[in-house]
Amino acid sequence: MVVMRMIDKYVDEVVRYIPLWRRKAARREIREKLFETLRLYCEGDRPTVRDARAVMHFAGDPRRAAAEYEREHEGERSRRKRKARRRAGRIVHRIEELIFAAAVILLIGGLMSVVIGKSTNPAFFILGAAMAVAVTVVRMVVPQFDTPEEEPESEMAVSADRLSQGRDKRAYGTLRNREGSR
């Protein structure tokens, strides 16, 4: 019960530094992450006040935790933008392919009509060549958005993993030593 109140108090402190329109979701998400980190830290044992303090100490200053949450969700917005750019890039790529196919058809048709002797007008040939050159230049100049990018892993998730593996239990020991000296 005391552990839950401690974590709720810490979460309330963190949420103070987050914009109003995001606070409800932030409160829920940060609370879940802290409890998950606490569960991993305790390795199945019942969490104590010391465990909660160690996890909150490891999570850091509330301002820092709020800034981390903001960075994480800023990345979410930029992921959506990248996804929209990729989708637009795929559409542009399909249009390029259709124009290039039409250019090849005009190029071959114009060349064949001149070779066979049906026409002495090289307009189809020139139009097809111009379209093919235009598509090639556009492909060289316009960036392609089809390449998937690696998603960065959340710092708090990495912290929870490190805590659970025992690499950062020194925070627990440091905290215990501080409490013992009081």
18-22, 156-160, 170-174: which is most confident? 18-22
Minimum mean pLDDT range among 22-26, 104-108, 133-137, 159-163:
159-163
Please indicate whether residue 81 or residue 15 has the higher confidence score (pLDDT): 15
In whole angstroms, give the CA distance from residue 158 to residue 63.
19
- Which single residue is written with the structure tokens 């960036």? 143
- Supply the mean pLDDT for the chain: 76
Percent of the residues in the chain that have a pLDDT greater than 70, as a whole number? 75
In whole angstroms, give the CA distance from residue 76 to residue 73.
5
Residue range 43-98, pLDDT digits in tens: 878 888 998 899 888 888 999 988 888 888 776 666 777 778 778 878 877 888 88
Nearest to 136 by CA among 107, 111, 113: 107
Tell me, yes or no, if the pTM score tops 0.75.
no
Q: Write the DSSP string, 1-60.
A: -HHHHHHHHHHHHHHTTS-GGGHHHHHHHHHHHHHHHHHHHHTTSPP-HHHHHHHHHHH-
Contacts by 161-167, CB closer than 8 A, 24 or more apart: 161/40, 163/37, 163/40, 163/41, 163/55, 163/58, 164/37, 164/40, 164/41, 164/43
Count Cβ atoms below 10 Å from residue 15 Cβ, excluding itself: 22
Residue range 80-91, pLDDT digits in tens: 777 787 788 788
DSSP 69: H
**Helices H, strands E: what count in the chain?**
7, 0
